[in-house]
Amino acid sequence: MFKQGEIVGRKSYGMDILFKVCEINEKKKTATLKGLDLRLIADAPLADLLYPTAGQLQEYRTKSSEAQKDCIKTIFLRRTLEREQIRGKSGIPADQFFEMPGKILHLDGDQEYLEECLKVYSSLGLQAIGHFVPEKKQPEAVWNLLHEYRPDILVLTGHDAYIKNNKKFNELSSYRNSGYYVAATRKARQYEPGKDDLIIFAGACQSHYEALLEAGANFASSPQRVLIHALDPVFIMEKVAFTSINSSVNIYEVIKHTITGLDGIGGVETRGKFRLGLPKSPY
């Protein structure tokens, strides 16, 4: 009845989250699902799945789109105010300055999410290189990619989930992909140990937050083991990329203005990667 790529919800959860069908196991009568806009992967009995109505799907997508637009609007407003303050102190016309935000390398275990993230990076004026790398391959891929691109900022994300039948929240084996993010983060820290030299975001929905920070991430998910939006890593790292190298990122402000908020993402004090230049070349 159900096919790969179709959009479904789970009856037992009241259709609260909509998913795309990734794989169907006919023998077990189950399906592997990925969140339509949340970095969650889950298994569900086929009998528990239901197609959303056209109205339900439209409402879900509209809500997600509006949340995204609100975040982007807040970013541009904040950025305008910050730039005016910096330039205003110098007395030099704004058009004489040029900007150098931090460069981003983004490894994502989901091709569709990666493409969406790259579009938003571009709309926010960020230089971002994206690679689709399945979660389990990120630890072996990250070293060469860091050497190739030498970014200021690294994002390690994709899908994850807490295995609900396992009550041991502090064990990596209780999570689908947290162990891969931890291993990739450790490998990245072998490349660059300094937390202010390479800024790392790691994790996805319900990831082992404490283990990721201990491995060396500056920002990670998920403190309360909740779901995070596909674009939350973008909004976090935009703030890092556009915060002056002379300042620390305001952790509360940056996380407050993500779609998920403080329950889904946390981090440690981190210096920004933005440099303001003068004068702008006429060429």
Residues 46-95 have pLDDT tens digits of: 999 999 999 999 999 999 889 889 988 888 888 888 777 766 666 777 67
Average pLDDT for residues 96-106, to the nearest whole number? 91
| CB-based contact 238:272 (threshold 8 Å) | no
Q: How far is 232 from 228, CA to CA, in rounded Å? A: 7
What is the reported pLDDT for 166? 67
Q: What percent of the chain has pLDDT over 70?
A: 98
Q: How far is 76 from 199, CA to CA, in rounded Å? A: 22
The single residue listed with the structure tokens 């994850």 is 160
What is the reported pLDDT for 90? 66
pLDDT digits (tens, 9 = 90+) for 218-232: 999 999 999 999 999
Q: What is the mean pLDDT of the chain?
A: 92
Q: How far is 106 from 155, CA to CA, in rounded Å? A: 5
